[in-house]
Amino acid sequence: LHYSIAVIPGDGIGPEVMDEGLKVLKAIEESHGGVRFANDVMDWNCNYYLKHGKMMPDNGLDTLKDYDLILLGAVGAPGVPDHISVWELILPIRRAFQQYVNLRPVKLLKGLESPLRYKNHADLDFVVVRENTEGEYSNMGGRMHQGTPYELAVQNNVFTRYGTERILKYAYSLAEKRPKKRLTAATKSNGINHSMPFWDEIVKEVNQEHPGITTNLYHIDALAAYFITRPEEFDVVVASNLFGDILTDLGAAIVGGLGLAPSANINPERKFPSMFEPIHGSAPDIAGKGIANPIAQIWSLSMMMDHLDLPEISSVIMNAIEQVLLDGKVLTPDLGGKATTRELGDEIVRQIYQA
Amino acid sequence: LHYSIAVIPGDGIGPEVMDEGLKVLKAIEESHGGVRFANDVMDWNCNYYLKHGKMMPDNGLDTLKDYDLILLGAVGAPGVPDHISVWELILPIRRAFQQYVNLRPVKLLKGLESPLRYKNHADLDFVVVRENTEGEYSNMGGRMHQGTPYELAVQNNVFTRYGTERILKYAYSLAEKRPKKRLTAATKSNGINHSMPFWDEIVKEVNQEHPGITTNLYHIDALAAYFITRPEEFDVVVASNLFGDILTDLGAAIVGGLGLAPSANINPERKFPSMFEPIHGSAPDIAGKGIANPIAQIWSLSMMMDHLDLPEISSVIMNAIEQVLLDGKVLTPDLGGKATTRELGDEIVRQIYQA
Ligand SMILES: CC(C)[C@H](C(=O)O)[C@@H](O)C(=O)O
Ligand SMILES: CC(C)[C@H](C(=O)O)[C@@H](O)C(=O)O
């Protein structure tokens, strides 16, 4: 089993956590004879932008297309507006490669405590399926009457039947595989009167094909509150691009923080490479200090193994992470410890060799 | 001091909690010689819609205009699509009367515990200023190619300089009056590339006029997470219509639930009536059982008194609510008690007479 990976460490803490991710990949190769990863590291980031006026070379997407997988750290730096770093790197990759599923587990790992007083591990174990190519993230829109009191900006949310059906079908088929057989769809059709009623209709249509799945449509405001008050109710939560973005940061917060939250940008048809990345950003405030938590990055490798149909390796990685958390001796500051990024990474690697 | 109030109890638990609100108003009149409220109750709700094909009479807004204040319970019933009940009643009122400020405190009352394990009363005391007339809630948009695989829906977010400036100016002047002198603005300019960078620019412009206020611009996903991880940082949080909607339900969840969360829809120029309502909806699942928590409705009356520049009366109401919570003997089921809506209302009224 031989896989090629395009590695984009990015900015800020991106390269720091990526180093630990690459160590984990090497440990997997060495401890699991037979699987091999060929990594090429791309220097596409905000420095690259400051030098070349673009986030990646003109043929960047073409280059990536030939890899089996993409591994991303985090992108964004103080000198470069976010809407450049993101719109010229992350979003084009998600779209060009039809990575229309953004899969984000909300799961309280062993050894961790939720900040929610009355919730425990059994209460916090679900997955958010976020639409990843359209919706509220559209580059359609613009401004008028600049420089006058009548200036305005319009941004179009674009929901296609094609894009909405495919994400809902994916979410329902995921729900079929899980024990609770329950799907929750985020909406806001009481306030947003064109796109969201359309979304609701398609939820109801796709639901027809899955009579065994209990479906709830909750308005995003209430749903965000339910993440706090009754997370135990959820199994598969499906949401539009923006709503999924908000819910998954919130989800990360209730299971221990952004340093722990992974994501998989998946092209289910496998026509194009899928991309694996932590949910967190480049965190310029702690960059260079060597204290970033590498677990989100490493967990995203476990999601990559699932995508490759290597569930045993996926489990080896998760068990290693959980063992280190249970031991509680080598933790980064965000987890209440004093360890460095590297020390925590080394400890996870040690557990992988022991397994 | 004589005020006229248009009372719209609405649907579901709306009329139940409104009854308690009206009892509180009467108690205030009787215990505070000099202030008088003349209430007219409007039967505009989903039943009205089923009978007349509209949520309010054609001259409804004209009728309301002559009142000093509007008091709303909650609107929405299973037989009527939300986007009708809301778009034909609540939203037209907010817009016609230029209630462009939706003020929503996030404050842990005495006697209550936060579901956040490590947060206490000092950590949970801020206010969200939500834009209430434009942004993501626009009726601009539509559908094409219905009945084909190419169907799509477009919804326009409309941000005007006029609308954005006025809400930010209000938020900054509120921040000037508060001790922490800190303002947090919700954005998503990394993902939403026309409207949100425009919003950010205007934040920076208005910030120039308030050099004493520390300003943070946080992306909505991170900000939602920070409501869980570091709520103590916030003082005034200002947000667009949708972001404010999501943040305030989340805010309600971290201070004890939707049964407690009030709101004020304010026209700061006082050219038109302002409207006071709980954040919660009509809750059809518990309607008719007499167990709804009336505190959100009653707290919204305290906000009404602040709006009328009657801070002593506002405090009397809040002290009564907090005393009942501290006593902990007469609580509705959502607060862990067994009392009915009426019993909890009666207890608050008793405290008002005692004050
Ligand atoms: C009923 C609904 C449209 C409304 C809103 O989203 O504004 C409600 O959720 C609120 O927060 O007042
Ligand atoms: C960087 C940003 C545009 C991105 C998003 O909103 O999709 C991030 O928040 C995420 O969740 O992956």
3-state secondary structure of A5: strand
In this complex, do A220 and B246 lie within 8 Å of one another by their Cβ atoms? yes
**A186 within 8 A of A238, measured Cβ to Cβ:** yes
DSSP B158-171: EEEHHHHHHHHHHH
Please give the share of chain A, as a percent, with pLDDT higher than 90: 95
A160-to-A136, A194, A195, B209 alpha-carbon distances in Å:
12, 12, 9, 43
What pLDDT does B65 receive?
Answer: 97
Query: To which H or E segment does residue A199 belong?
Result: helix A195-208
Q: List, for chain B, all residue ranges whose pLDDT scores fall below the cut of 50.
A: none
Could you identify the residue written with the tokens 């921040």? B175
Give dist(CA B280, CA B249) in Å, integer. Answer: 8
Rounded distance between C-alpha atoms, residue A244 and residue A136, angstroms = 11
Residue corresponding to tokens 């009030």: B262
User: Chain B 25-84, CB below 8 Å of chain A: which residues?
Assistant: 76, 81-83
In chain B, which ranges are continuous DSSP H helix? 14-31, 46-52, 60-65, 82-85, 91-96, 161-177, 195-208, 220-229, 241-254, 295-307, 311-327, 341-354
Q: How confident is the model at residue A85 (pLDDT cuts 50, 70, 90)?
A: confident
Residues in a beta bridge with B130:
B102, B239
pTM (2 decimals)? Answer: 0.97
Residue A114 to residue A167: CA distance in whole angstroms: 29
| Residues 224-243 of chain B whose Cβ lies under 8 A from any Cβ of chain A | 224-229, 241-242
Residues in chain B within 8 Å Cβ distance of A194: 139, 141-143, 153-155
Q: Ligand 2 centroid to A251 CA: how many Å?
A: 14
Residues 6+ apart with CB under 8 A from A264: A101, A102, A103, A104, A274, A275, A276, A300, A303, A304, A306, A307
> So what's the pLDDT on residue A84?
86
Pairing mode, if any, of strands B214-219 and B182-187? parallel
- pLDDT at position A336 is 95
User: For residue B34, what are its two tokens?
Assistant: 């000099």
Contact between B248 and A222 using a beta-carbon 8 Å cutoff: no
pLDDT digits (tens, 9 = 90+) for B248-278: 999 999 999 999 999 999 999 999 999 999 9
Of ligand 1's listed atoms, the one at least distance from the Cα of B85 is 1
SS3 call for A297: helix
pLDDT tens for each residue of B126-171: 999 999 999 999 989 999 999 999 999 999 999 999 999 999 999 9
CA distances from A51 to A8, A54, A76, A80, A91 (A): 17, 8, 15, 12, 21
The structural domains of chain A, ordered by start, are: 1-102+261-355 (3.40.718.10), 113-254 (3.40.718.10)
pLDDT value of position B242: 98
What residue's CA is closest to ligand 1, atom 3? A191
When the pLDDT of each residue in chain A is averaged and rounded to a whole number, the result is 97
What distance in Å separates the CA atoms of residue B258 and residue B251, rounded to the nearest whole number?
9
Query: Using the 8-state DSSP alphabet, how is residue A87 labeled?
Result: I
**Ligand 2 pocket at CB < 6 A:** A 86, 90, 245, 279; B 190-191, 221
Question: Which ligand 1 atom minimizes the distance to the CA of A191?
Answer: 3
The 10 Å Cβ neighbour count of residue A179 is 6
Cα–Cα distance between B157 and A136 in angstroms, integer?
9
Is residue A39 pLDDT above 90, yes or no? yes
Closest listed ligand to the CA of A249 = 2
Report whether A127 contacts A106 (CB < 8 A). Answer: yes
B148, B156, B221: residue with CB nearest A246: B221
A162 vs B: CB within 8 A:
yes
Nearest CA in chain B to A253: B225
**Please, where are the H alpha helices in B271-329?**
295-307, 311-327
Average pLDDT score over residue span A129-151: 96
Segment A92-131, tens digit of pLDDT: 999 999 999 999 999 999 999 999 999 999 999 999 999 9
Give, rounded to a whole angstrom, the gap between the first and last alpha carbons of chain B. Answer: 20
> Phi, psi (5° rounding) for residue A302?
-65, -40
CB distance from A291 to chain B under 8 Å? Answer: no
Residue in chain A lying closest to B137 (CA): A192
Nearest ligand to the CA atom of B10: 1
In the prediction, which pLDDT does B82 show? 80
Query: Edge to edge, what strands does the sheet with B141-144 contain?
Result: A141-144, A152-160, B152-160, B141-144
For position B187, what pLDDT does the model report?
97
- A219: Cβ–Cβ under 8 A, 6 or more apart, which residues? A186, A187, A188, A189, A190, A191, B82
- pLDDT value, residue B211: 96
* Residue B181: Cβ within 10 Å count: 14
Considering every ligand atom shown, identify the ligand nearest to the alpha carbon of residue A265 and give its number. Answer: 2
Q: Do A83 and B150 touch (CB under 8 A)?
A: no
Of B83, B155, B158, the CB nearest to A152: B158
